[in-house]
Structure 1
């Protein structure tokens, strides 16, 4: 039988996934091209050309990626990963950014179901609003994968898996780094209200940090001037604060600028990547940032939906597929910066 060209094209990606999960499947297909010869002398001579498997659902697939994206620097990298997967697999990807509005996401999910989507990948910043519509998608026979935020709720939806990081564990790691730096009181600044993933980052920080954590909304990334001024005011009002953690890359830089305005020597940590943020780490102005590898959060759901629809494959074994946390520090900032500048980190 011929092997599908599309399936062959994704085998390297599957090998990468297997390696990242620590597996080493060495099963071979010895003899697969040397099938038993026919004893009928009248049979036509065998040829070296492999036969072709016609994947009945392999063509003309349309997947929807519905997120709370604001198309900022974090999400642009995630979208680049999703677009790359769609191009590699020859499928159509419909990108729907909700701009931090769960009701817009609900409408987009409902529209995708009505359009007969072949698969939905969705973030879950507001489970109360989004679990129900995604359950409806599964009930309508549309495979669903959650990404970025949703690690606590994807099983309730009936999603195939979740692609992202454990936000609490990521916050735990950040807390330990602040301990190592000698901080005693941290302002954990959030750039969105009602996003459970951001709250979990701060809560995870508080679990392992030996000092005090103040958790506050500091303004949206869309207005960095207001965001910086809000952080500045919070720092000025509490001179005991000697650490700042931003739960996104833009607000982390706003925290750095606010501290510089006040000539405050703070230990600063962040979440996620932009070239500017990594440059500040390389310069020693920011201690670290948590890297959840958002390019993978875009690429992998498209790949996994494709494999499920065309080959009934699943990954994760009922557990989420973790893309982080990793940490960017002055030790590895230069290498990560080079990748960030080309848009894949």
Structure 2
């Protein structure tokens, strides 16, 4: 499909405007999603299927095998696909070159749009340029907030990880923390590095960076445990994903540490741990929304020439703090697998 010209403007179009257009365009229609690799969301959020011609969207992420965070993103994408009469093709690979190959596969399939994460932007640069040369609109989400405009993407949906990290650091100050260890599960992943850098910038105490192998959870547990055993001054553990927070709970217990735990990202188990007081707070970047908006935005662009952010500003889905004061409300949605 040919891309529409995109004016360069500093004015931002709110995400709610896109949602309103979507609601108007699909009112009164009914639904299911197609494609061998795509599934209905089953969340109850998608109300109907658009009567617009069927289109194909490829969603390509850097998800590592077994990381349940991406299940929530995929549910959001599937809900939008079901509503918009979109065939959704989902694929992932945590290595940059392999993810770039998946983008090339989507180009070869002549999809109508691509939604991609730029966790390793340099590795994706060439493939993204080829997609744009082929006339395929590309949107970014989740990772790459500092690179999406440089690479000519149409829109970006996600959290500014530096801002989120800085907010986390200030929250540590409010909690009276003195020494935190920030656990990074994939060295060189720009979003994760930015989170810990943000924490270190605003946290008035000491910040240690601890790299772990995120694809090997027993190793993650052992590495965090060893760190806590060797440094009893650590009073807060900062993790960058809900599954790693749950593992850190075990590490704290195994080390006999008095450290408290806070995390980025959320899932059903983390919600339960917040309610139980085992996690002090989580920053929610709303992954369901990221997946949903990425697919829906490509449909809106094809059917109505819409794009959010005016081609200049990202559409931010976070950060939002979840703690004991509001976790009961979030639990309602976490039980459905959408938060």
TM-score (norm 1): 0.82
Give the gaps of 5 or more residues in structure 2: 1-12, 22-49
Count of aligned pairs between the two proteins: 297
Q: Please, which of 146, 151, 158 is the counterpart of residue 157 of structure 1? A: 151
Displacement of 1:223: 2.6
How well do the aligned residues superpose, as a CA RMSD in angstroms? 2.1
| Matched residue, 2:270 | 277
Q: Does 1:177 align with 2:171?
A: yes
* Structure 2 counterparts to residues 40-189 of structure 1, below 5 A: 58-70=52-64, 72-98=67-93, 100-189=94-183
Q: Does 1:227 align with 2:220?
A: yes
SS at match of 2:303: helix
Q: Does structure 2 conserve the Cα–Cα contact (< 8 Å) formed by 1:186 and 1:241? A: yes
Q: Does 1:297 align with 2:290?
A: yes
Over residues 202-253 of structure 1, what are the superposed CA-to-partner deviations in whole Å (9 max), with x where a residue is unaligned?
0000111001111121221x43222111100011111221111001111112
SS at match of 2:149: helix
Q: What is the alpha-carbon distance in structure 1 between the residues aligned to residue 305 and residue 102 of structure 2?
A: 26
Q: What is the alpha-carbon distance in structure 2 between the residues aligned to residue 97 and residue 85 of structure 1?
A: 19
Q: Does 1:311 align with 2:304?
A: yes
Q: What is the alpha-carbon distance in structure 1 between the residues aligned to residue 14 and residue 183 of structure 2?
A: 39
SS at match of 2:309: coil
Give the gaps of 5 or more residues in structure 1: 1-13, 26-54
Q: Which moved more, 1:135-144 or 1:291-300?
A: 135-144
| Matched residue, 1:18 | 17
Q: Does structure 1 conserve the Cα–Cα contact (< 8 Å) formed by 2:242 and 2:264? A: yes
Displacement of 1:182: 1.0
Over residues 129-167 of structure 1, what are the superposed CA-to-partner deviations in whole Å (9 max), with x where a residue is unaligned?
012211221122110000000100001111111100000
SS at match of 1:270: strand
Q: What is the alpha-carbon distance in structure 2 between the residues aligned to residue 131 and residue 311 of structure 1?
A: 28
SS at match of 1:154: coil
| Matched residue, 1:39 | none
Q: Does structure 2 conserve the Cα–Cα contact (< 8 Å) formed by 1:132 and 1:157? A: no
TM-score (norm 2): 0.84
Q: What is the alpha-carbon distance in structure 1 between the residues aligned to residue 133 and residue 286 of structure 2?
A: 31
